[in-house]
Chain A
Amino acid sequence: MHDSTFDIDLDRENYDIKLEEISKIEGAASLDIKIRNKKVEDLKFSINEWKRFYTQAIRGKPALAVPQLVSRICGTCSNAHLLASVKAVENALGIVPSAQTKLLRKLLYYGLIIRDHALHLYIFALPDLFGKSSILDFDENDPVQHELLDDTFTVKEAGNQLSIVSGGRSVHAPFVAVGGFLKLPSLEEIKKQKESLLSIRPKIVHLIDVFAKSPFKQEMKEPVSFTALKSEDFSFLDGQLCSTDGTCVPDSQFNNHLNAVIIPYSHARGFSFNGKLFMVGSVARLNLYKDALHAKTKETAAPYLARFPSNNLYDNNVAQAIEILHAIDASVELIDSCTELVPEAPIKVPPRAFKGTGVIEAPRGTLFYELETNEQGTVTKGEIIVPSGQNQILMERAIRELVEELVMQDTPKDAIIDQVERLIRAFDPCMSCASHFLKVKWR
């Protein structure tokens, strides 16, 4: 519930704000703010999802079965968990997927990027720009709002279908396995997606423009570094981990540069990178390697790309919209290049003891998997680090800075709540992911 309660007996300089369930984000989170003498005395952003203990649950399971299980960590970005865990197992076993497998995985993934970013931008973030509570409240008699309402569902459907055709379903894609595809998609069906992808392209160009014109701005007072898996073709699935602080590390070393920070009141843990405040996600990717975007995307989005690198947290929305355009352009090129699908079964290798890492860029940022097995190929240890956990400290710090500013300006409490929720949405946090399991030691 979106329970916002105030202690109205207190004066304008002393009051509490309690948001029990923040709306229009993926999963459950809450916020508690205590204002005393016109200062933020305490502010807690907590992830409220009840843990399902996946890191524990995968122990004792065959490594080959892990991807379809961890996919259930998150319904929104299930295919990101699927492909990151597949990559961890393949890296460890020395399996090099075929060119055809790589192509199909990219199409599956671009479908996710379109569908997932579109859910966030149209359904979660867009109502804030129009001063509405919901996309469902958009005025059908207003041509702009009517068009955006229709675009919401047309765009999502194009991404949804691309993933369904490539992976068998857009959520927990059943065709995907370690070493390849259990069932191959139909070439004819894949070819058909080109038309719907091209049909949504102008809608996305419009969407980029809508978010680029947003008046919202929030920059952190202290320096923030941005990290992402830097790839040559902006495929989200390959590359080297780089930070705007100049560091580049092999993906297997990612974990060594992250410092876990326990947040006692939250069901999840936060992180710093090389000891510093950092952010992952679309804005991080564009800040680091916008030159790797598809040539057509760069051409069309040139006026909007000029703002990156950007420190405005709201530019994460613009970056997501540009990534949808890239996903469309890159998918169309892949579909054009695809002339046949040859029957090939997933590559199999005998089980052995291993330790493998798999890192990809999930829609919301870097997703890290590390799996260890025994000689029978049974998982003995697993580590999963999700993007929203990495962003949690920055997010809380950003909320605090915003609230401090608003309190000083005597902003009414309901306006504070609106602005705070809007800022949280700019991060596009995913609470289901953040709470899969955390190895927390309580003091």
Chain B
Amino acid sequence: MEKKIRVGWFTFTCCEDSTVMFAELLNKHYKEWLPRLEFVHARILRAEKSTTIQPMDIAFVEGAISSDEQEAKLKIIRAQAKVLVAIGSCAVVGSPSNQRNFFNPEQLAEIKPILEKFKYKEKVLKLADVVTVDESVPGCPMNEQTFLAIMSKYLHA
């Protein structure tokens, strides 16, 4: 039996539309993918087996980075993953989750108490601002065809 590819699916600040797209892509592809993939981390699919982030062949990461703790977690994911794939617009370019980066002073004054209380970062970052990104699937939600091409590339590597 072929060795399973160890994958993780992680979500930072976003609407999780790409997680939904992935869950819907499983409808047609689960018979092909599930025997080949081991979900090491995927909160949507199962409770975590481990409290620390495990080594992975591929880490799929959706969402933008809003806090120092998110930034630290992303760095650990990067260190544990051979390949890191940025999933969807918020991960790839930061938008729309980074819309507060473009707020006017009046809007910023309104949200300031929340930013301070929960220790938000001053600016919302895209993944590439923090770590090296190997592959990107842009789109809001992620572009299905680009994602399928990346899956195919690594499943048949």
Contacts and interface: CB of A to CB of B under 8 A. Distances in A.
Interface of A: 1-5, 21, 23-24, 26-28, 49-54, 56-57, 59, 69, 72-76, 78, 115, 119, 123, 127, 133-137, 153-154, 156-157, 160, 169-172, 267, 421, 432, 437-438, 440-442
A424 to B, nearest CB: 12
Contacts of A49: 13
Chain B binding surface, main DSSP class: mixed
Contacts, number: 144
B105 interface: no
A119 B107 contact: no
Contacts of B107: 53, 56-57, 59
Contacts of B157: none
Nearest to B30: A153
B99 A52 contact: yes
A69 to B, nearest CB: 7
B34 A28 contact: no
B80 interface: no
Contacts of A52: 13-15, 96-97, 99-100
A24 B16 contact: no
Interface of B: 11-21, 23-24, 26-28, 30, 34, 39, 41, 43-48, 51, 53, 66-67, 70, 96-97, 99-100, 103, 107, 110-111, 113-114, 117-118, 120, 140-141
Contacts of B67: 50
B46 A171 contact: no
Nearest to A60: B104
A232 to B, nearest CB: 31
Contacts of A421: 47
A119 B23 contact: yes
A157 B96 CA distance: 27
Contacts of A160: 24, 27
A23 B141 contact: no
B23 A56 contact: no
B27 A156 contact: yes
Contacts of A50: 12-13, 66-67, 70, 118, 120
A76 B15 CA distance: 8
Contacts of B117: 442
Given A75-B21, A119-B23, A172-B141, 18 more contacts: A1-B48, A50-B70, A51-B114, A52-B99, A53-B103, A72-B17, A75-B15, A123-B45, A133-B46, A134-B45, A134-B47, A136-B45, A153-B27, A154-B27, A157-B24, A171-B17, A171-B20, A442-B117
